[in-house]
């Protein structure tokens, strides 16, 4: 795969990522789409590293840094979504702890969703800027 072809793949991936975060409020509430965003961000970083392997002067890590805040904040939301899922599967066995922890999860989800939305709204560089 030549560098120009890989650049086209990256451009398409960037466009998909930008579309995915266009409505961060909805995305933060949809568990599977949020997980998919994180997977696609990992693929994005891997593709950047591949391009750097082809063109050693390509600043893969510098470009990757632009996307770290949204990956990190999406990870926070995903963590609390999974905590809620685990608790729901074992809720009856964990009473009265489950009720207390469920309230804690709701509060943490509000906080992490807010952080995620802020990082998504901060804006990503366009392909031309990269």
Give the mean pLDDT of 38-66.
90
Longest dimension (CA), the chain: 59
Mean pLDDT of 88-114: 87
Q: Which residue has the tokens 């995915």?
A: 20
Identify the pLDDT of residue 1: 53
pLDDT above 70: residue 3: no
Q: What band does 130 get if pLDDT is binned at 50, 70 and 90?
A: confident
d(CA 82, CA 95): 19
Q: Would you list the DSSP string of 14-69? A: HHHHHHHTSSHHHHHH-HHHHHHHHHHHHHHHHHHHHHHHHSTTS-HHHHHHTTHH
Distance CA(23)–CA(46), nearest Å, equals 25
> Across residues 33-46, what is the average pLDDT?
94
% of the chain beyond a pLDDT of 90: 43
């Amino acid at each position: 795969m030549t560098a120009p072809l890989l650049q086209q793949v990256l451009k398409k991936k960037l466009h998909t990522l930008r579309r995915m975060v266009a409505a961060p409020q909805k995305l933060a509430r949809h568990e599977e789409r949020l997980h998919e965003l994180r997977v696609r961000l990992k693929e994005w970083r891997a593709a950047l590293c591949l391009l750097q392997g082809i063109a050693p002067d390509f600043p893969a890590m510098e470009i990757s840094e632009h996307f770290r805040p949204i990956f990190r904040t999406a990870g926070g939301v995903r963590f609390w979504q999974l905590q809620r899922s685990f608790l729901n599967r074992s809720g009856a066995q964990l009473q009265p702890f489950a009720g207390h922890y469920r309230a804690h999860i709701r509060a943490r989800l509000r906080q992490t969703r807010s952080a995620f939305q802020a990082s998504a709204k901060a804006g990503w560089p366009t392909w031309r800027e990269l």
